[in-house]
Structure 1
Amino acid sequence: MIRDKNERKLSSAGSASHKIRITGGLWKRTPLAVPDVAGLRPTPDRVRETLFNWLTHLRGSAFGQMSCLDLFAGTGALGFEAASRGISKVTMVEEDKKACSRLQLVKEKLGAGQITVLPADAVKIAGEFARAGKRFDLIFLDPPFQKDFLSLVLPQCINLLTKSGLIYIEADKKVTPETLRLWVPGDVLNLQIIRAGKAGQVCYHLLEMKA
Protein backbone atom coordinates (compact mmCIF):
# COMPACT_ATOMS: atom_id res chain seq x y z
CA MET A 1 0.00 0.00 0.00
CA ILE A 2 1.10 3.61 -0.59
CA ARG A 3 1.32 4.46 3.08
CA ASP A 4 3.48 1.41 3.82
CA LYS A 5 5.97 2.36 1.08
CA ASN A 6 6.08 5.91 2.42
CA GLU A 7 6.72 4.67 5.93
CA ARG A 8 9.71 2.63 4.72
CA LYS A 9 11.08 5.53 2.65
CA LEU A 10 10.85 8.10 5.42
CA SER A 11 11.65 6.03 8.48
CA SER A 12 15.40 6.44 8.05
CA ALA A 13 15.48 9.85 6.32
CA GLY A 14 17.91 11.74 8.52
CA SER A 15 18.26 12.08 12.26
CA ALA A 16 15.53 13.43 14.50
CA SER A 17 14.61 13.42 18.15
CA HIS A 18 11.27 11.70 17.50
CA LYS A 19 8.56 11.23 14.89
CA ILE A 20 4.91 12.07 14.46
CA ARG A 21 2.49 10.66 11.90
CA ILE A 22 -0.04 11.98 9.42
CA THR A 23 -3.42 11.04 10.88
CA GLY A 24 -5.65 10.74 7.80
CA GLY A 25 -6.06 10.72 4.06
CA LEU A 26 -3.80 9.42 1.28
CA TRP A 27 -0.65 9.36 3.42
CA LYS A 28 -2.26 8.23 6.67
CA ARG A 29 0.29 6.89 9.20
CA THR A 30 3.24 8.23 7.19
CA PRO A 31 5.93 9.27 9.72
CA LEU A 32 7.30 12.81 9.85
CA ALA A 33 10.59 13.19 11.66
CA VAL A 34 10.92 16.09 14.10
CA PRO A 35 14.33 17.75 13.66
CA ASP A 36 16.19 19.08 16.67
CA VAL A 37 15.40 22.74 15.97
CA ALA A 38 14.83 25.35 18.68
CA GLY A 39 11.16 26.29 19.06
CA LEU A 40 9.93 23.46 16.82
CA ARG A 41 6.72 22.10 18.29
CA PRO A 42 4.61 19.89 16.01
CA THR A 43 0.83 20.01 16.38
CA PRO A 44 -0.21 16.94 18.42
CA ASP A 45 -2.03 14.13 16.61
CA ARG A 46 -5.30 14.55 18.48
CA VAL A 47 -5.32 18.30 17.85
CA ARG A 48 -4.84 17.72 14.11
CA GLU A 49 -7.59 15.12 14.13
CA THR A 50 -9.95 17.59 15.81
CA LEU A 51 -8.95 20.41 13.46
CA PHE A 52 -9.54 18.33 10.34
CA ASN A 53 -12.85 17.07 11.69
CA TRP A 54 -13.85 20.75 11.93
CA LEU A 55 -12.53 21.52 8.45
CA THR A 56 -14.18 18.47 6.90
CA HIS A 57 -17.52 19.47 8.42
CA LEU A 58 -17.19 23.07 7.25
CA ARG A 59 -15.44 22.75 3.88
CA GLY A 60 -14.93 19.05 3.14
CA SER A 61 -16.76 19.10 -0.18
CA ALA A 62 -14.51 21.95 -1.39
CA PHE A 63 -11.09 20.54 -0.39
CA GLY A 64 -10.26 19.77 -4.02
CA GLN A 65 -10.53 23.46 -4.93
CA MET A 66 -8.87 24.96 -1.84
CA SER A 67 -5.45 26.56 -1.45
CA CYS A 68 -3.64 26.54 1.88
CA LEU A 69 -0.77 28.53 3.39
CA ASP A 70 1.22 26.91 6.22
CA LEU A 71 3.15 29.97 7.34
CA PHE A 72 5.29 28.46 10.13
CA ALA A 73 5.56 24.98 8.66
CA GLY A 74 8.13 23.42 11.02
CA THR A 75 7.74 19.65 10.63
CA GLY A 76 5.04 20.16 8.01
CA ALA A 77 2.50 18.30 10.16
CA LEU A 78 -0.34 20.65 9.26
CA GLY A 79 0.58 21.20 5.62
CA PHE A 80 1.22 17.54 4.81
CA GLU A 81 -1.98 16.61 6.65
CA ALA A 82 -3.92 19.11 4.55
CA ALA A 83 -2.51 17.76 1.28
CA SER A 84 -3.05 14.17 2.43
CA ARG A 85 -6.71 14.92 3.04
CA GLY A 86 -7.28 16.46 -0.37
CA ILE A 87 -6.45 20.18 -0.19
CA SER A 88 -5.44 20.92 -3.77
CA LYS A 89 -2.58 23.39 -3.22
CA VAL A 90 -0.41 23.82 -0.12
CA THR A 91 2.34 26.41 0.32
CA MET A 92 4.73 25.75 3.22
CA VAL A 93 6.97 28.53 4.55
CA GLU A 94 9.87 27.73 6.89
CA GLU A 95 12.84 29.93 7.79
CA ASP A 96 15.07 27.35 9.50
CA LYS A 97 17.32 25.73 6.88
CA LYS A 98 17.42 22.33 8.56
CA ALA A 99 13.65 22.11 8.93
CA CYS A 100 13.09 23.45 5.41
CA SER A 101 15.42 20.84 3.91
CA ARG A 102 13.47 18.10 5.66
CA LEU A 103 10.17 19.47 4.32
CA GLN A 104 11.57 19.37 0.80
CA LEU A 105 12.84 15.82 1.34
CA VAL A 106 9.44 14.59 2.53
CA LYS A 107 7.69 16.36 -0.34
CA GLU A 108 9.95 14.59 -2.85
CA LYS A 109 9.60 11.20 -1.16
CA LEU A 110 5.80 11.50 -1.25
CA GLY A 111 5.73 12.83 -4.80
CA ALA A 112 3.59 15.68 -3.49
CA GLY A 113 3.40 18.00 -6.49
CA GLN A 114 0.59 19.99 -4.90
CA ILE A 115 3.00 21.23 -2.20
CA THR A 116 5.42 24.16 -2.56
CA VAL A 117 8.15 24.61 0.06
CA LEU A 118 9.57 28.12 0.48
CA PRO A 119 12.65 28.94 2.62
CA ALA A 120 11.63 32.34 3.92
CA ASP A 121 10.83 34.52 6.92
CA ALA A 122 7.11 34.14 7.64
CA VAL A 123 6.41 37.77 8.48
CA LYS A 124 8.25 39.12 5.43
CA ILE A 125 6.74 36.70 2.96
CA ALA A 126 3.22 37.29 4.29
CA GLY A 127 3.69 40.95 3.46
CA GLU A 128 5.07 40.11 0.03
CA PHE A 129 2.14 37.80 -0.68
CA ALA A 130 -0.33 40.48 0.38
CA ARG A 131 1.28 43.11 -1.84
CA ALA A 132 1.27 40.65 -4.74
CA GLY A 133 -2.46 40.03 -4.29
CA LYS A 134 -2.15 36.34 -3.39
CA ARG A 135 -5.15 34.76 -1.69
CA PHE A 136 -5.61 31.53 0.26
CA ASP A 137 -8.71 29.67 1.45
CA LEU A 138 -6.99 28.35 4.58
CA ILE A 139 -4.04 29.67 6.57
CA PHE A 140 -2.25 27.81 9.36
CA LEU A 141 -0.52 29.94 12.02
CA ASP A 142 1.47 27.79 14.44
CA PRO A 143 4.49 29.92 15.35
CA PRO A 144 7.03 29.34 18.14
CA PHE A 145 5.35 30.29 21.39
CA GLN A 146 8.25 32.29 22.81
CA LYS A 147 8.00 35.06 20.21
CA ASP A 148 5.13 37.45 19.52
CA PHE A 149 4.63 36.39 15.91
CA LEU A 150 0.84 36.32 15.90
CA SER A 151 0.43 40.05 16.50
CA LEU A 152 2.87 40.69 13.65
CA VAL A 153 1.50 38.34 11.06
CA LEU A 154 -2.26 38.18 11.66
CA PRO A 155 -3.02 41.65 10.21
CA GLN A 156 -1.27 40.63 7.00
CA CYS A 157 -3.02 37.27 6.87
CA ILE A 158 -6.42 38.96 6.87
CA ASN A 159 -5.42 40.46 3.53
CA LEU A 160 -4.40 37.03 2.26
CA LEU A 161 -7.73 35.32 2.85
CA THR A 162 -10.37 34.64 0.25
CA LYS A 163 -13.96 35.55 1.05
CA SER A 164 -15.12 33.24 3.87
CA GLY A 165 -11.53 32.01 4.28
CA LEU A 166 -10.35 30.26 7.44
CA ILE A 167 -7.37 30.81 9.75
CA TYR A 168 -6.14 28.23 12.23
CA ILE A 169 -4.18 29.58 15.22
CA GLU A 170 -2.16 27.69 17.82
CA ALA A 171 -0.97 29.52 20.91
CA ASP A 172 0.13 28.95 24.50
CA LYS A 173 -2.94 30.81 25.79
CA LYS A 174 -6.55 31.21 24.76
CA VAL A 175 -7.24 33.65 21.94
CA THR A 176 -10.35 35.76 22.56
CA PRO A 177 -12.16 38.49 20.62
CA GLU A 178 -10.39 40.97 22.90
CA THR A 179 -7.02 39.45 21.93
CA LEU A 180 -7.89 39.82 18.26
CA ARG A 181 -8.79 43.48 18.75
CA LEU A 182 -5.37 44.08 20.30
CA TRP A 183 -3.63 42.37 17.40
CA VAL A 184 -5.77 43.96 14.70
CA PRO A 185 -7.25 47.22 16.02
CA GLY A 186 -9.93 49.21 14.22
CA ASP A 187 -12.45 48.29 11.57
CA VAL A 188 -10.01 46.11 9.61
CA LEU A 189 -10.79 43.14 11.84
CA ASN A 190 -13.27 40.87 10.06
CA LEU A 191 -12.53 37.61 11.84
CA GLN A 192 -14.64 35.62 14.25
CA ILE A 193 -13.61 32.62 16.34
CA ILE A 194 -15.88 29.73 15.35
CA ARG A 195 -14.16 26.78 17.06
CA ALA A 196 -11.65 26.47 19.92
CA GLY A 197 -10.10 23.81 22.09
CA LYS A 198 -7.21 23.00 24.41
CA ALA A 199 -4.90 20.00 24.68
CA GLY A 200 -2.29 20.18 27.43
CA GLN A 201 -0.48 23.50 27.04
CA VAL A 202 -1.73 24.04 23.48
CA CYS A 203 -4.73 26.26 22.78
CA TYR A 204 -6.07 25.96 19.25
CA HIS A 205 -8.61 28.04 17.38
CA LEU A 206 -10.38 28.19 14.03
CA LEU A 207 -11.34 31.63 12.74
CA GLU A 208 -13.52 32.60 9.78
CA MET A 209 -13.90 35.81 7.82
CA LYS A 210 -17.24 37.41 8.60
CA ALA A 211 -19.72 37.48 5.73
Structure 2
Amino acid sequence: MRIIGGQWRSRRIEVAALEGLRPTPDRVRQTLFDWLQHFWAGQGLGLSGMRVLDAFAGTGALGLEAGSRGAAEVLFIEQHPQACRVLAKNLLAFKSQALRLIEADAMSTMQALAQHSQPFDLVFLDPPFAAGLDVAAAASALALLNQGGLLYLESDRSWAQALEQTSGSSREQLASCLRLIRQAKAGAVHYHLLQRHNDSGQATS
Protein backbone atom coordinates (compact mmCIF):
# COMPACT_ATOMS: atom_id res chain seq x y z
CA MET A 1 0.00 0.00 0.00
CA ARG A 2 1.34 3.46 -0.91
CA ILE A 3 0.63 7.16 -0.44
CA ILE A 4 -1.08 8.45 -3.57
CA GLY A 5 -0.46 12.22 -3.38
CA GLY A 6 1.53 15.06 -1.88
CA GLN A 7 5.14 15.24 -0.72
CA TRP A 8 5.19 11.56 0.33
CA ARG A 9 3.62 10.27 -2.86
CA SER A 10 4.59 6.64 -3.65
CA ARG A 11 5.98 6.09 -0.13
CA ARG A 12 5.06 2.64 1.13
CA ILE A 13 2.71 2.05 4.07
CA GLU A 14 3.10 -1.22 5.94
CA VAL A 15 -0.24 -2.90 6.70
CA ALA A 16 -0.84 -5.09 9.76
CA ALA A 17 -2.04 -8.61 8.95
CA LEU A 18 -5.31 -8.39 10.87
CA GLU A 19 -8.64 -10.01 10.09
CA GLY A 20 -11.27 -7.35 9.48
CA LEU A 21 -8.82 -4.53 8.78
CA ARG A 22 -10.19 -2.56 5.81
CA PRO A 23 -7.60 -0.18 4.34
CA THR A 24 -9.33 2.54 2.33
CA PRO A 25 -8.61 1.63 -1.33
CA ASP A 26 -6.54 3.90 -3.56
CA ARG A 27 -9.54 4.79 -5.71
CA VAL A 28 -11.62 5.85 -2.72
CA ARG A 29 -8.76 7.88 -1.25
CA GLN A 30 -8.27 9.61 -4.59
CA THR A 31 -11.98 10.42 -4.78
CA LEU A 32 -12.00 11.77 -1.22
CA PHE A 33 -9.04 14.08 -1.72
CA ASP A 34 -10.47 15.25 -5.04
CA TRP A 35 -13.65 16.15 -3.15
CA LEU A 36 -11.65 18.04 -0.54
CA GLN A 37 -9.63 19.91 -3.14
CA HIS A 38 -12.75 20.91 -5.05
CA PHE A 39 -14.58 21.97 -1.88
CA TRP A 40 -11.75 24.16 -0.61
CA ALA A 41 -10.73 25.57 -4.00
CA GLY A 42 -13.47 28.20 -3.97
CA GLN A 43 -12.26 29.44 -0.58
CA GLY A 44 -8.60 29.55 -1.51
CA LEU A 45 -7.94 26.85 1.10
CA GLY A 46 -6.26 23.46 1.24
CA LEU A 47 -4.93 21.05 3.85
CA SER A 48 -1.90 23.23 4.57
CA GLY A 49 -2.00 24.34 8.19
CA MET A 50 -5.07 22.30 9.16
CA ARG A 51 -5.60 20.07 12.20
CA VAL A 52 -6.73 16.57 11.25
CA LEU A 53 -8.00 13.62 13.28
CA ASP A 54 -7.87 10.05 11.96
CA ALA A 55 -10.01 8.03 14.39
CA PHE A 56 -10.23 4.22 14.12
CA ALA A 57 -7.01 4.80 12.18
CA GLY A 58 -6.13 1.20 11.25
CA THR A 59 -3.38 1.58 8.65
CA GLY A 60 -3.39 5.37 9.08
CA ALA A 61 -3.64 5.78 5.30
CA LEU A 62 -6.15 8.65 5.43
CA GLY A 63 -4.21 10.63 8.01
CA LEU A 64 -0.94 10.02 6.20
CA GLU A 65 -2.47 11.28 2.96
CA ALA A 66 -3.48 14.46 4.83
CA GLY A 67 0.01 14.82 6.28
CA SER A 68 1.52 14.31 2.84
CA ARG A 69 -0.61 17.19 1.60
CA GLY A 70 0.58 19.63 4.25
CA ALA A 71 -1.67 19.27 7.31
CA ALA A 72 -0.10 21.02 10.30
CA GLU A 73 -1.09 18.27 12.72
CA VAL A 74 -2.51 14.78 12.26
CA LEU A 75 -3.65 12.84 15.32
CA PHE A 76 -4.23 9.10 14.90
CA ILE A 77 -6.33 7.02 17.31
CA GLU A 78 -6.14 3.22 17.20
CA GLN A 79 -6.66 0.68 19.97
CA HIS A 80 -5.58 -2.68 18.48
CA PRO A 81 -2.05 -3.37 19.78
CA GLN A 82 -0.74 -4.96 16.58
CA ALA A 83 -2.24 -2.25 14.37
CA CYS A 84 -0.70 0.36 16.69
CA ARG A 85 2.75 -1.21 16.48
CA VAL A 86 2.68 -1.19 12.68
CA LEU A 87 1.20 2.31 12.53
CA ALA A 88 3.80 3.66 14.96
CA LYS A 89 6.53 2.15 12.78
CA ASN A 90 5.02 3.84 9.72
CA LEU A 91 4.80 7.22 11.44
CA LEU A 92 8.40 6.97 12.60
CA ALA A 93 9.52 6.27 9.03
CA PHE A 94 7.96 9.53 7.81
CA LYS A 95 10.02 11.54 10.35
CA SER A 96 7.39 14.25 10.73
CA GLN A 97 6.61 16.04 13.99
CA ALA A 98 3.11 16.71 12.62
CA LEU A 99 2.11 13.05 13.14
CA ARG A 100 1.02 11.76 16.56
CA LEU A 101 -0.54 8.46 17.66
CA ILE A 102 -2.76 7.70 20.66
CA GLU A 103 -3.21 4.01 21.48
CA ALA A 104 -6.71 3.96 22.95
CA ASP A 105 -10.39 3.43 22.26
CA ALA A 106 -11.50 5.96 19.65
CA MET A 107 -14.94 6.69 21.12
CA SER A 108 -13.76 7.46 24.65
CA THR A 109 -10.75 9.37 23.35
CA MET A 110 -12.91 11.58 21.12
CA GLN A 111 -15.13 12.36 24.10
CA ALA A 112 -12.08 13.33 26.15
CA LEU A 113 -10.63 15.43 23.33
CA ALA A 114 -13.90 17.36 23.08
CA GLN A 115 -13.26 18.60 26.62
CA HIS A 116 -9.55 19.34 26.41
CA SER A 117 -8.43 19.71 22.79
CA GLN A 118 -8.46 22.47 20.23
CA PRO A 119 -11.05 21.74 17.51
CA PHE A 120 -10.15 19.96 14.30
CA ASP A 121 -10.65 21.14 10.72
CA LEU A 122 -11.09 17.63 9.32
CA VAL A 123 -12.01 14.30 10.94
CA PHE A 124 -11.75 10.88 9.29
CA LEU A 125 -14.03 8.13 10.65
CA ASP A 126 -13.83 4.51 9.52
CA PRO A 127 -15.25 2.51 12.45
CA PRO A 128 -15.60 -1.29 12.29
CA PHE A 129 -18.89 -2.02 10.54
CA ALA A 130 -19.81 -4.91 12.85
CA ALA A 131 -19.80 -2.57 15.84
CA GLY A 132 -22.47 -0.30 14.34
CA LEU A 133 -20.67 2.83 15.49
CA ASP A 134 -21.17 5.10 12.49
CA VAL A 135 -23.85 7.34 14.04
CA ALA A 136 -22.32 7.41 17.53
CA ALA A 137 -18.88 8.15 16.10
CA ALA A 138 -20.27 10.96 13.93
CA ALA A 139 -21.95 12.48 16.98
CA SER A 140 -18.68 12.37 18.92
CA ALA A 141 -16.76 13.84 16.00
CA LEU A 142 -19.28 16.67 15.69
CA ALA A 143 -18.16 18.01 19.06
CA LEU A 144 -14.55 18.06 17.84
CA LEU A 145 -15.08 19.97 14.60
CA ASN A 146 -14.56 23.65 13.94
CA GLN A 147 -17.60 25.49 12.65
CA GLY A 148 -17.56 24.65 8.95
CA GLY A 149 -15.21 21.72 9.59
CA LEU A 150 -15.42 18.56 7.49
CA LEU A 151 -16.20 14.98 8.46
CA TYR A 152 -15.39 11.95 6.29
CA LEU A 153 -17.34 8.81 7.21
CA GLU A 154 -17.18 5.24 5.90
CA SER A 155 -20.10 2.95 6.72
CA ASP A 156 -21.99 -0.11 5.52
CA ARG A 157 -25.07 2.08 5.00
CA SER A 158 -25.78 5.45 3.44
CA TRP A 159 -26.00 8.58 5.59
CA ALA A 160 -29.73 8.81 4.83
CA GLN A 161 -30.22 5.22 6.00
CA ALA A 162 -28.16 5.87 9.12
CA LEU A 163 -30.36 8.83 10.06
CA GLU A 164 -33.57 6.94 9.26
CA GLN A 165 -32.48 4.11 11.55
CA THR A 166 -31.59 6.49 14.40
CA SER A 167 -34.16 7.93 16.76
CA GLY A 168 -34.40 10.69 19.33
CA SER A 169 -32.13 13.65 19.94
CA SER A 170 -29.11 12.08 18.20
CA ARG A 171 -30.97 11.99 14.90
CA GLU A 172 -32.17 15.58 15.27
CA GLN A 173 -28.72 16.84 16.21
CA LEU A 174 -26.93 15.11 13.34
CA ALA A 175 -29.58 16.05 10.78
CA SER A 176 -29.48 19.71 11.81
CA CYS A 177 -25.73 20.07 12.40
CA LEU A 178 -24.18 18.08 9.55
CA ARG A 179 -24.71 18.85 5.87
CA LEU A 180 -24.01 16.06 3.36
CA ILE A 181 -21.69 17.43 0.67
CA ARG A 182 -20.74 14.33 -1.32
CA GLN A 183 -21.34 10.60 -1.13
CA ALA A 184 -20.42 7.54 -3.16
CA LYS A 185 -20.25 3.76 -2.85
CA ALA A 186 -17.47 1.28 -3.55
CA GLY A 187 -18.55 -2.32 -3.19
CA ALA A 188 -20.32 -2.61 0.15
CA VAL A 189 -18.78 0.60 1.51
CA HIS A 190 -20.68 3.89 1.56
CA TYR A 191 -18.43 6.89 1.99
CA HIS A 192 -19.50 10.43 2.74
CA LEU A 193 -18.16 13.96 3.14
CA LEU A 194 -20.16 16.09 5.56
CA GLN A 195 -19.76 19.61 6.91
CA ARG A 196 -20.56 21.01 10.32
CA HIS A 197 -22.98 23.93 10.19
CA ASN A 198 -22.00 27.24 11.74
CA ASP A 199 -23.82 28.80 14.68
CA SER A 200 -26.46 30.42 12.47
CA GLY A 201 -27.51 26.99 11.19
CA GLN A 202 -25.91 27.49 7.78
CA ALA A 203 -22.91 25.62 6.42
CA THR A 204 -20.01 27.67 5.19
CA SER A 205 -19.06 27.24 1.54
Length-normalised TM-score, structure 1: 0.85
1:186 maps to what in 2? 172
Aligned structure 1 segments of 4 or more residues deviating by more than 4 angstroms: none
2:3 maps to what in 1? 22
1:118 maps to what in 2? 102
In the TM superposition, what is the alpha-carbon distance from 1:151 to its structure 2 partner?
2.5
CA distance in 2, matches of 1:180, 1:130: 23
Whether 1:209 and 2:196 are equivalent positions in the alignment is: yes
State the secondary structure of the residue aligned to 2:13: strand
CA distance in 1, matches of 2:133, 2:64: 22
Partner amino acid for 2:33? F
Partner amino acid for 1:32? I
2:24 maps to what in 1? 43
1:7 maps to what in 2? none
2:50 maps to what in 1? 66
Percent identity between matched residues is 39
1:94 maps to what in 2? 78
In the TM superposition, what is the alpha-carbon distance from 1:39 to its structure 2 partner?
2.2
1:199 to 179, 182, 186: 186
In the TM superposition, what is the alpha-carbon distance from 1:50 to its structure 2 partner?
0.5
Cα 1:187/1:34, change in 2 over 3 Å: closer
In the TM superposition, what is the alpha-carbon distance from 1:59 to its structure 2 partner?
2.5
Q: Is the 8 A contact 1:39 1:145 kept in 2?
A: no
The count of corresponding residues between Structure 1 and Structure 2 is 191
Instruction: Provide the aligned C-alpha RMSD in A.
Output: 1.6
CA distance in 1, matches of 2:70, 2:135: 30
Q: Is the 8 A contact 1:69 1:140 kept in 2?
A: yes
Whether 1:77 and 2:61 are equivalent positions in the alignment is: yes
